[in-house]
Structure formats: C-alpha cells, structure tokens
Amino acid sequence: MPETTPRVLIVGAGAIGSFYGAILHRGGAQVEVVSRSEADVIRDHGFRLHSRDMGDLTFRPAAVHERVEDVAEAPDFVLLSVKVLDDLDRAALIRPAVGPKTVIVLVENGIDIERPIHEAFPDNPLVSGLAFVAVSRTGKAQAEHKAYGRLVIGEYPSGAGNAAERLSALLTAGGIECPVSGNLVTERWRKAVWNAAFNPVSVIAGGATTTTILDAPGGEDFMVTLMQEVCDVAAAAGHPMPEELPVKSIGGTRKMPPYHNSMALDYLNGRPMEVEAILGNVIRAAESHGVDVPHLESVYRVTKMLQNRVATEG
C-alpha cells in the first residue's frame, strides 16, 4: 500500500522556513505555512525563491494560515523556524497545531533552545536541526538562497530515531544534504563555536562581514580567542571539541566570500537579535560550570548595550 504524503506545517516562514519548505515540497511533502504578515502575498504568488546553486525554488504551499489556531488538523511535522527571542513563547505558539503524534522540528540557532519545547511536549518526538546555509529575505514572501544548505538533524535529547530519518529522507529527496546525528547537542555546541563568536562581533563592528572582521588588525587572533572560550564551555558541559576547531574555522571562514551572518542582517535591518539564545546561553553555561570566559563576557555586555540602544533610541 503506498504511504500517505507527509504533511509539514512551517511556523516562521521567513528565510529558513521558506527555503527548507521549498526543499520539502521538492522532496514530496505537502507543505503548509503559517504567516502572520505575508499570508495574502503567499496565497497570490507562492514563495518566490531564487537559489544561486539550485535555480528557481518558487513554490506554492498547499495551505496558508494566518494563525496557528487556524490549522484544523494536526500535521505529521511542525517545523519551527522563528527567531529565538526572549519575549516569544515558542511552545505556546505551536501548541494549537501539535497533535499526539506530531513530530516537532526546530531549525533555529542557539544553545539549549530545545529545552522549553521538550518540557512543553515531553511525549512528542523532537528533532533539532542546525542549518549551514546562507539565505535571506529580499522582499515580501521572497528570499534568496546564496550558498550551502546542509541541515544536520538529530533527535533531542539524543539519538537518531525514526522521526529524524523520515525527515532526512524528505530533505535528501528535495536536493540537500541532511545527515542524522545521534548526538545533536554536541553538534549544536560545535556550531555555537562559530555563531557565539562571529554573530555578536559582526554586530558590535556595525554589521560587519566575515572578511571585515578577519582583516582587521588582530581580527583573526581575537576570533580564535572567542572561539576557544566557547570550546572551553562546551568541554565543561560534556561536549569536548577538537583542539584545532577554532583555527580550522578561521580557515573555512576565509574561504567564504564576505558574508553577513543572520544576526548582522537583523542588526542592519533594525530587527530583534537572538543575543540570549546564541551568546547569553553560552555565558550562563560558563557560569554554571565555573568556566572563565572574559572575552565572551565583554562581547556579551557590549552587544546587550547595543541591543538596548536599538530598543530605546531606535
């Protein structure tokens, strides 16, 4: 008997949600979206998505909902790809669409961002994802995929179970690399080594690209120092990183064209930034494990000042 087409609901249909939504659509899933501010445009034109590597990824979702409450039947997968911000209760946001068998998928940056979702839905499979992709919004329901695309997924708190394998098969069929890791939290720390250092520094430097950061006098050494502090925290939290990771990451970053990470883009566009999810949670882990992170601490303080300035002075 043929299997039924899996239904995926994307909550947070911005750059990441529309890109992986397009890939899932190509992979054979029935993709629906929740869009609070662009529903009409998506209904009229679909998502207009251009990929430098994959060509035209434009697609029309099977259904467009303005609110999660409007979703009548629980989907097989809810893929959450909103920014992880202090004032947003992500569990409450998706609750109306989560049925007893729904697999919850997170494609979001940050450390320890699974915990509130796992606590709210302890009986649902939770798949956590790390997106190595450069995609940004270019207009209403429009995005440009500039490079990469690999999505590393795994079940939370650990394991590589059936839910992750089913999702990986869909994304692979859609044309991206989607390895399943049995130790996703370690992978999250590995990604945080880059994000916790580069994202806030790009903001402090006024929305700087990777190249601007690394070309500044002492830039490379400073970034290695920050990344090493993240590695120290990761090790204390039970996720040791390879010794050469910071230096190797600089080499990899050097090979990329000048690049604005997602926090730099948020800063430049006056949008809220994921400072707590990406850096604050690393600082808190350092405190709880007694690890000294003086450089990260300074970067955190200054980024918070900047965030306050944007919030209060515009």
With CB atoms as reference, the residue minimizing the distance to ligand NDP is 14
Give the per-residue contact string, 69-108, with ligand NDP (x = CB under 6 A; - = no): ------------xxxx---x----x-------------xx
223 binds, among ligand NDP, ligand KPL, none (CB under 5 to 8 A by kind): none
102 binds, among ligand NDP, ligand KPL, none (CB under 5 to 8 A by kind): none
Candidate segments 15-23, 203-211, 288-296, 304-312, binder of ligand NDP by CB under 6 A: 15-23
Q: Hey, how many other C-beta atoms are within 10 angstroms of the C-beta on 27?
A: 22
**Crossing angle for the helix pair 15-26 and 162-173, nearest 10 degrees?**
80
Give the per-residue contact string, 114-133, with ligand NDP (x = CB under 6 A; - = no): -----------------x-x
Hunting for tokens 């729904």 — which residue is that?
A: 102
Q: Mention every residue, 6+ apart, whose C-beta is less than 8 A from residue 207.
A: 260, 264, 267, 268
> Which positions from 146 through 175 interact with ligand NDP, judged by CB under 6 A?
none
The residue ranges that bind ligand KPL (CB under 6 A) are 109, 132-134, 195, 199, 261-262
Determine the Cα–Cα distance for residues 130 and 137; give it in Å rounded to an integer. 19
Q: Hey, how many other C-beta atoms are within 10 angstroms of the C-beta on 239?
A: 17
Regarding 274 and contact with ligand NDP (CB under 6 A), the answer is yes
Instruction: CB nearer to ligand KPL: give 35 or 109.
Output: 109
Q: Give SS3 for 181.
A: coil
Q: Hey, how many other C-beta atoms are within 10 angstroms of the C-beta on 252?
A: 9
Bridge-based pairing of strands 63-65 and 30-34 is parallel
Site residues (vs ligand NDP, CB under 6 A)? 12-17, 34, 36-37, 81-84, 88, 93, 107-109, 131, 133-137, 262, 274
